Amino acid sequence: MSRLFVRHASARALAAIAMTALPLTLACGDNPPPKTPEAPKPAPSASATTPRLPPQAPESPTASAVRISPEITTACGISDPDAYFAFDSSHVRPDDARVLGSLVTCFTTGPLKGRTMKLVGHADPRGSSDYNMTLGQSRADSVAGYLNGKGMDKGKTESTTRGAMDATGSDEPSWARDRRVDIMLAQ
C-alpha cells in the first residue's frame, strides 16, 4: 500500500511539474515575442550647457570656475555655454575675457547699469572650515578684482564666501565643480 501511495504521489508531482513547465516551454519556443519599440531618447536640449573648462585645473589657489546666473545671462545676452567657465586671474583665456568684458559692459552701460553684482566664492570640502571660507573669499575677490580692472565700479561688486558649505563633491571631478565663483544680481 505504501508503494502505491508513493507511486501515486510521484505521478501527481510529475503532473504538477509538467503543467507548470508547459507554459514556460511554450513561451520559450522558436519565435521570440515581438520586441516593443524603445521610446526615443530625448535629444539634448539647446539650452543644455557645455562648460568650457580646461582638462586640468590651474595650479593656483584662486583658480576656480565662474558660473553666471540665468538672470544675468538673459539680461546681458550671454549664451548658456559661456555662463560657466574656468577662471584663473593669472591666465584668463580670450573667450573667458570676452564673457567677463560683456559682464562689465552690461553692468556699466547696458541693461543692468546701476545694478550691483554679487560674487560668491566656494571651495571643495577638503580643507578646514576657516581655510575654505578664506579660500572662497579669495576666489570671489580675484574675479571682482579682474572685473574692476576692466572698468566695473568697485562699489557695484560685492564679494562674499560660502566656503565649503554647499560642496557636494567626493572625487576630483566633483571637487572641481565645488571650486567656483557664482555671479548673480545683488538684492
Residue 185 phi, psi (nearest 5): -80, 135
C-alpha cell at 4: 502505491
- Is 128 in contact with 103 (CB distance < 8 Å)? no
Confidence of residue 85 (pLDDT cuts 50, 70, 90): confident
Pairwise pLDDT comparison (140 vs 42), residue with the higher score: 140
Q: Number of C-alpha atoms within 13 angstroms, CB side, residue 143?
A: 36
Of the candidate ranges 10-14, 97-101, 106-110, 126-130, the one whose mean pLDDT is the lowest: 10-14
Query: Rounded CA gap, 48 and 55, in Å?
Result: 20
Domains contained in the chain, CATH given: 64-185 (3.30.1330.60)
When pLDDT is averaged across residues 110-121 and rounded to a whole number, the result is 97
- Predicted TM-score of the model (pTM): 0.67
Question: E strands, 36-176, where?
Answer: 64-68, 84-87, 117-122, 157-163
Burial class (CB in 10 A: 0-12, 13-18, 19+), 17: exposed
Query: Rounded CA gap, 89 and 33, in Å?
Result: 62
| Vertex 100: Cα angle to 183 and 137 (nearest 5) | 45
| Whole-number pLDDT of residue 32 | 52
Q: Number of C-alpha atoms within 13 angstroms, CB side, residue 163?
A: 12
| Whole-number pLDDT of residue 25 | 42
Query: Rounded CA gap, 127 and 147, in Å?
Result: 27
Residues 6+ apart with CB under 8 A from 164: 122, 123, 124, 125, 126, 127, 129, 132, 136, 178
| Whole-number pLDDT of residue 59 | 55
